[in-house]
Structure 1
Amino acid sequence: MTRENVQHVTVLGSGSMGHGITEIVAMAGYEVTMRDIEADIVEEGYRNIEWSLEKLEESGALEESADDVMARIKTAVDLEESVTDADIVIEAVPERMELKKDVFEEVDRFAPDGAILASNTSSLSITEIASATERPSDVVGLHFFNPPVKMDLVEVIYGSETTDETAERAYEFMKAIGKVPIYVRKDVHRFVVNNVLGPFLDEPHWMVSGGEATIQEVDAAMVHRRGYPMGPFELIDMTGIEVSYHVRQAGDITVAPLMEEKVENEELGRKTGRGHYEYENGDGPDYEKGDGEDFDTLRVDAMIINEAAHLIGDDVATADAVDTGMRLGTGFPEGPCTYADETGIDTIVEKLESLHEEYGTDRYEPAPYLRELVSTGRTGQDAGAGFHDY
């Protein structure tokens, strides 16, 4: 999709994601309408954009004036009026399936033929959202990461009926507005980045639940020895423990006792003053560099790599997409596929097999794609090929 055939973009929702997406689209030179259900709500979003652009202008990060960017943004309350001339509609309403389906059903009535209808959902089914329309082939997921102005990554997600043309047009538009898109070619729960991130949080919870490590040991090891920007417990305290808990419930993923206990006790992280660390009467994360010297980081990394291999083997994403997504979306020090190639995929499989033998739990079973790589001699950098070619 080129600038010539995109004249107008509509963003539905003016909350943190909606006004952030509106801002980056306008910064890229496009005319954009931001719509919400009430005038005062959309006005608040508009003011948030104004404030952000002024800060960017002050720091020298804008190539034109904030006023020039703001001149490309219109606001609306009437949905029909906002989407009638849209080439792309990006929905950014709260993460409730029935609400999103209601919005798409209405958009379907008023948006022009050929318009891309995109949802900014972070985990809900694109296929189900698209079922509310008479044109599911034109519906695609565009999962921006928060905050959209700072985060470069966007997941471009296929629903079961999304055409290649629709996904490719959306992908090219993301590039046109300065984002780095990756394809998620199947509509799997949590898509790519949140799936691969899952074991980074889950495995440490199982280990601490089983008395095999302390919270401080885990976080210190993963930050100071492995180079992750935050430890797993530090991260989940920031995002909200209940958020991860409910996502896992929705995906029928067994939750470790420690995570369940924190939710039951309403110790949800920073927002409640206490999570895995004490925030109200403490200093928050209190781990030190030397705390994690004996922690088994490979156990966590092997589980992350195994999840990535399941997605790649199922043709959900490529190894390049996984690595790009995890570096840009989560700040991983390197992509998990690259790390596996550096470590040796045979070493990863051996680790998983030993864990499976010790614990007898299905989650440790090596992904078929990992076994395939090893059986064909693609064991990593030293072999000249693994997830990637060298």
Structure 2
Amino acid sequence: MNLKNITIAGSGVLGFQIAMQAAFHGFQVIVYDINDEVLEKAKSKFKTLSESYTTDLKASPEQLENTFNHLSYTSDLALAVKDADLLIEAVPENPQIKIDFYKKLAAVAPEKTIFATNSSTLLPSQFAEATGRPEKFLALHFANEIWKHNTAEIMGHSGTDQKVFDTVVQFAKAIGMVTLPLHKEQPGYILNSLLVPLLSAATDLLVNDIADVETIDKTWMVATGAPTGPFGILDVVGITTAYNINKIAADATGDPLKIKTVKFLKENYIDQNKLGVSTGQGFYSYPDPEYLKKYFLK
């Protein structure tokens, strides 16, 4: 495997986690985002994340110092990919934003650079043409809290070169992931093919006034033994992601329930900046959400 220099495009919920994980395992990582203000916010998130690495991975101060020495930041895309062996795209889950980004990227990236999308629900074939290098393009999808929930789903499209696919599998192993190669394209990969129906069903129950957030989560947690219910999961994933997924479905199908869900999420959460764990408020309040309290399951 010849990958040394990794560029992460997007410093949002998963972008900064992927960057930290790769830097922690010794790769040179450049974090790219649209402006310096966004990148400054990302830097503070890395400091918070280092506490999780200390607690969960027993990372030493020396390891963390080395990690931060492997991280750099820029809002200049050409500079961000100048030496990139692999670029992982973690920009918003919106097809047009991704297409626009890949067209800009294709104009400045060196020929050697492999492009990977971390999209949760969209297929690599939707963007392959826009990349200008379809044979060097595939999906590399991580779960949230990547350092603990260390899954990496690798999914090519019909034009992905097998050597490129194998190289990305090796990279995922090198940053401590359990690699999960898919044989062909599947909307939602494996994880979200299982998870999204659960989250959608929970949201439907809430929007249709069947039950409240706490009762729905309690039902799932007590009946299955899961440590978190669907709304606790949505707070970690980020309510913006849920909103975008529902909006895409609503626009594509005109489903009245999806339209109702989009309106509900926008008015009650997006417009009020209640975006989940990242803003300290979503379906629950953080850092001490109700579902973690002893009495919650009584």
Distance 1:253 1:154, change over 3 A: farther
| 1:47 positional shift | 3.5
The yes-or-no answer on 1:32 pairing with 2:29 is yes
What's 1:361 paired with? none
Within 5 A, what are the aligned runs for 1:319-358? none
> Does the 8 Å CA contact 1:205/1:259 hold for their aligned counterparts?
no
What's 1:62 paired with? 59
Unaligned runs of 5+ in 1: 291-390
Distance 1:233 1:54, change over 3 A: closer
Structure-2 separation of matches of 1:101 and 1:261: 23
> Does the 8 Å CA contact 2:235/2:284 hold for their aligned counterparts?
no
| 1:96 positional shift | 2.2
| Amino acid across the alignment from 1:11 | I
| 1:206 positional shift | 7.0
| Amino acid across the alignment from 1:39 | D
Q: Give deviations 1:4-56, integer Å, cap 9, x for gaps.
A: x1221111122332222111111001111112232232233234224433663
| SS of residue in 2 equivalent to 1:65 | helix
| 1:90 positional shift | 0.9
> Does the 8 Å CA contact 1:8/1:30 hold for their aligned counterparts?
yes
> Does the 8 Å CA contact 2:140/2:155 hold for their aligned counterparts?
yes
> Does the 8 Å CA contact 2:207/2:261 hold for their aligned counterparts?
no
Structure-2 separation of matches of 1:209 and 1:42: 35
> Does the 8 Å CA contact 1:138/1:166 hold for their aligned counterparts?
yes
What's 2:139 paired with? 141
Q: 1:53 aligns with which of 41, 50, 54?
A: 50
TM-score (norm 1): 0.59
> Does the 8 Å CA contact 2:246/2:262 hold for their aligned counterparts?
no
Distance 1:163 1:225, change over 3 A: same
What's 1:246 paired with? 247
| Amino acid across the alignment from 1:40 | E
| Amino acid across the alignment from 1:77 | S
Structure-2 separation of matches of 1:265 and 1:259: 10
Q: Give deviations 1:295-317, integer Å, cap 9, x for gaps.
A: xxxxxxxxxxxxxxxxxxxxxxx
| 1:289 positional shift | 5.7
Q: Give deviations 1:114-144, integer Å, cap 9, x for gaps.
A: 3210111111231122211221111111122
| 1:97 positional shift | 1.8
Q: CA RMSD in A?
A: 3.9
| SS of residue in 2 equivalent to 1:225 | helix
Within 5 A, what are the aligned runs for 1:79-118? 79-118=77-116
Q: 1:73 aligns with which of 65, 71, 74?
A: 71
| Amino acid across the alignment from 1:24 | Q
Higher relative contact order (CA 8 A, sep 6+): 2
Aligned pair count reads: 281
| 1:246 positional shift | 2.9
Within 5 A, what are the aligned runs for 1:1-390? 1=1, 5-53=2-50, 56-57=53-54, 61-63=58-60, 64-202=62-200, 219-232=217-230, 235=233, 240=239, 242=243, 245-246=246-247, 248-249=249-250, 252=253, 260=261, 263=264, 266-267=267-268, 271=274
Distance 1:195 1:255, change over 3 A: farther
> Does the 8 Å CA contact 1:242/1:268 hold for their aligned counterparts?
no
Distance 1:160 1:255, change over 3 A: farther
| Amino acid across the alignment from 1:134 | G
More displaced stretch, 103-112 vs 202-211: 202-211
Aligned-pair identity in percent equals: 26
| Amino acid across the alignment from 1:72 | H
Structure-1 separation of matches of 2:228 and 2:206: 17
> Does the 8 Å CA contact 1:242/1:263 hold for their aligned counterparts?
no
| Amino acid across the alignment from 2:38 | I
